[in-house]
A and B are shown apart, each in its own frame.
Chain A
Amino acid sequence: MIFRKELKEALAIIDNMLVAVQKGIPARGTTGVEMRRVIGNFQANEVELVESFTIGTELFNCFEQARIAGATLDTMDGVREAMIAEQPLFDFGKAAKLSGMLFSFVEQCTLISKMVFISRTDVEAMMIRMNKVIDALKLEVSELMDGMDYQAMTKLAAILVQHLAVTERKLPQIVNYTMPKVRSALSLSNYFYGDGGRFVELIDENKIINPVFFTRDIRVLSE
């Protein structure tokens, strides 16, 4: 009887995890079709996967497919929050919770490794965000982990911080400017960068609707 409860608890945690993973990805259409197939397969064969000891492999595959389908950092934050809310009583459930949190962090790191940052400010914001994630992970799952898992997680966290620090060093800074009068994007691009062709960067950075009338308070790159 107790085994049935343990299995039920773990599978419920995993189902919640998979609901959170799919958030933000269209539920129909060609986008994410492979993810839906993999997750559907997983949910149909959960018990068999437990019996064949391949539930971890297939669950990670679901996360990978979700990332490929367009899951974002926010999606993975959602997974982690859902996992933090879980309070499993049995070991299998605890392992499921731990894996969910670990997989969400892994996917976030993979997403970051492929990101293109424009300015130091972007990287700093990412660093602050990910530091919170790392702290939360250490707080929540360190007692559930064995030595090898903990080492793998801290190594990933260290390489993430190193990657962000190295990326930051190569980028220009964001500088805030207040112009004396309203000017167009083209003239501002020429004024700041000596190159009218970079007006799109200014529009994107300042979220301008009409590029002829730029706001007076603007953010520009230092280079």
Chain B
Amino acid sequence: MPEAVLHQASSLTQWSGALTPQVVLLASHGDMKSEAALQDQLVKAWRHLGYASVCVDATRVVPPLQQSRLQLLEQLTQDHEPHDVMLVYVPISWLVEDLADFAAAPLLAVGTNSTSVLTAYQALKQLTLKGQHHPTLVPVLDTLDASALHTAEKLSHSISECAQQFLGQRPHMVPPIGLLDGHDISSTPSEGMLSLALRLMEPAPHTAPFWSH
């Protein structure tokens, strides 16, 4: 952060008070290749933008017997307070069973192979109908060449149409990302990824975390 900004705006931090990290949910539907690529690139983009981020893999966490999944999430947030953003890789079941009715906006990474598309659609269906969530679909491509982009466009269109016809609402779609983009650590994240990372940092109209309701 620029020194002058810190000096000029020293009171801003006092005014804004203690900020909890912004929680971003990434729903797991089984396509680990696409989901890992999305995680990598998001973390890289946040780092590039100057935000401290942490990833929590909730698929491998088992809450203690006396603690619900919701309480576990709250605990994780408190543990990572110094961070600006916490990316939680969370199973679909959590979102549907424990976080239903909170109108969250989890990310859903979709690969180009048919298995990924089917599992992503299944997840979308559960999240929308059972969980009352508003997922954001992120197409993940091997490469970002013209033909791949065309495929991604067709894929997005198909899923969107199906969702509209059978689930009653279209998911939010973002421009596709490339798998290889996240592999080179020294490279600058793409414009689209930076834009997505900033969007995900935008707090909801209510400032408190959704599980504190």
A and B associate: no
B interface residues with partner A (beta carbon < 8 Å): none
A interface residues with partner B (beta carbon < 8 Å): none
